[in-house]
Amino acid sequence: MAITTIFSNEIDEDDNNLEKYFDKLQILNQSVWDNICNRPQIVKWLEQFTGSIISEEEEQKYMLFALSKFMYFSQRMVREMLISLYRDIIRAPIIQKIRRDNKDTTDYELLSNLYSDSLNATRFIGVGNPAESGAHLLYIFRQVNSLETKLFCDLHGAFDIEIKSDENIIDWKARDEDIKKYIFFDDFVGGGTQASRYLEKPIASIRKRYPDVELLFISLFSTSQGLNKLNQENLFNGKASCLFELDDTFKSCSSGARYFDKSPSWFSLDTFRNIATYYGSSLYEQPLGHGDCELLLGFSHNTPNNTLPIFWKNSSTNGVVAHWYPVFERFDKNYGLPRRVK
């Protein structure tokens, strides 16, 4: 079937005018998505749904409707969220504590000086490799909140590693023992396994050696599952938080999906799930997204693999050979090839 049929002006019964969904996408693209997803791109993506589950026209109708519900955050929006993250999760609680500790003072100069002292005893640390998205956004976080560069480092910039060979134990020693708070940062938390794998042993060592040091974790977005994992006692023990928490209603293929709470009567969640699963299974080992998160979520700097792969997969990600054209392309991490054994 020609793709032009999908965008015809004919109006079928029961909210079946597909052109209006494309009109909505045009508005989203121009006002929110920074013009990264235009009509030719959408058409090229839609043409890959060729009628393997239901008719070609109906599959493309489902995908167009789902695309109109996709949550994409432009660079401008991400910058505003980083401002809110600092203001609401970092600055406000510290100011509130300073006021409580000083008889609810409203003395601006006193509050400012004490806040500056608290900030100087704090270090922000990006989770993972310095070339990954957490560290990249931490750079923007510093810019938009006018913070000094000395407040930022990576894990190895904040701590030295001491190896006790007789006990086969790795110990993490602070480079500056005047630091009283370490705030770990990442842009997005899916299942929480990557952050926990990276941080569990260092945190255990730091907490044992410096029991009075405060360890926190912040992110822009986190699934409820990931946030619960990071808040376990062996990790951040209730001190992991995010700006937006994604509960199970953000699972696009499961009952109660908030994306489709006002869907037209022709839309079936089971059918959408079948389409996403069928085409996604040839693109990624988890066709409903990493950890079966089923998200419809993307950012200007990247798209999480927790999003349905039919939206982000390209021919190079994750080593899977698949000729697929994405609408919100994911740039996967390149961990390099295994070393050759000589």
185 is a domain residue: yes
> How far, in Å, CA of 299 to CA of 329, rounded?
10
> In the chain, which residue ranges form alpha helices assigned H by DSSP?
19-31, 39-46, 56-67, 75-85, 92-101, 108-120, 133-144, 155-158, 193-209, 224-230, 269-280, 309-312
Domain CATH number, residue 206: 3.40.50
Instruction: Say if residue 8's pLDDT is above 50.
Output: no
**pTM score above 0.75:** yes
Domain stop point among 213, 228, 243? 228
**Residue 332 lies inside a defined structural domain of this protein:** no
Same domain, 92 and 209: yes
Judge whether residue 152 has pLDDT over 70.
Answer: yes
pLDDT digits (tens, 9 = 90+) for 74-88: 999 999 999 999 999
Specify the number of domains making up the chain.
2
In a shared domain, residues 98 and 167: yes
Alpha carbon separation from 312 to 267, 304, 325, 336 (Å, rounded): 23, 8, 8, 21
Given this model, what pLDDT does residue 193 score? 87
Task: Say if 19 falls within a structural domain.
Answer: yes
What share of the chain in percent tops pLDDT 70? 88
- Could you list the residue range(s) of the whole structural domain that residue 293 is in? 3-69+252-319
- For residue 239, pLDDT beyond 80: yes
Using CA atoms, how far residue 111 sits from 100, 116, 122, 150, in Å, is: 11, 8, 17, 21
Same domain, 215 and 263: no
Please check whether residues 150 and 295 belong to one and the same domain. Answer: no
How would residue 126 be classed by pLDDT, with cut points 50, 70 and 90? very high
Q: Among candidates 285, 291, 295, 279, which has minimal Cα distance to 317?
A: 285
